[in-house]
Amino acid sequence: MSAGPFQYRAHRAGPLSAGVRRTADLPNRAVRPFRAGPRTGLAHTMFKDHEVSAPSHTERVVDDTTVVELCGEIDLCTGPPLSARLDSLTAVPFPDLVLDLRQVAFIDCSGLRTLCRARNRVLARGGRLRLVIESARLLSILRCVDLGEAFEVVPGPPDGARPASRADRVAATAC
């Protein structure tokens, strides 16, 4: 028996039990759609500054390694454009990518998702992804979500950089 609208399954496996009430059976409790209140409070405070925020990064090439220096915040607002750029960098076979996170001030779960997506794409194409992290706070965040061993963390980016190609510089935004 499938559960239709306004039905709840019992916590144990099996069909709906007789003891489980449907929301339609509850007296004086109409289901009301959620309406967002005025743009105040914590959620508004968190996102009001992000209207002009964009992921800031620079790119350079060292030998065959692309070094992406990220700065600012990697969050729900800045993650998707950054993810799109990392997708284009990891679209080639055997990508070698270094993400320099030393100037990243904040990262949330969507930022972690962006890093994981880049890692998965690099590994699927037989490449290598390294993170440059100096912040004990960021390292502890990675450990807390069981990603401490998933990434190769290096002490610094490769030396001897040359500027990225013109197309890469056009796509990049300076810090």
The angle, 0 to 180 degrees and rounded to 10, between the axes of the packed helices 109-124 and 79-89 is: 10
SS3 state of residue 143:
helix
Radius of gyration (Cα) for the chain, nearest Å?
A: 23
Write the CA distances from 149 to 47, 78, 132, 139, 163, integer angstroms: 31, 25, 14, 10, 31
Residue bearing tokens 């059976």: 25
DSSP alpha helix (H) spans, 62-135 = 79-89, 109-124
Q: What is the pLDDT of residue 66?
A: 94
Closest by CA to 70, choosing from 57, 60, 53, is: 57
Closest by CA to 156, choosing from 123, 125, 121, 132, is: 132
Q: What is the pLDDT of residue 137?
A: 93
- Per-residue confidence of the chain (175 residues) as pLDDT tens digits? 455 454 444 444 444 445 444 445 545 555 444 444 455 444 444 444 444 455 578 899 988 899 999 999 999 999 999 999 999 999 999 999 999 999 999 999 999 999 999 999 999 999 999 999 999 999 999 999 999 999 999 988 887 544 444 444 434 444 4
Euclidean distance between CA atoms 67 and 101, whole angstroms:
11
Q: What is the pLDDT of residue 24?
A: 52
Q: What is the pLDDT of residue 27?
A: 53
Q: What is the pLDDT of residue 165?
A: 46
78: left (phi over 0), alpha (psi -120 to 50) or beta: alpha
Q: What is the pLDDT of residue 38?
A: 52
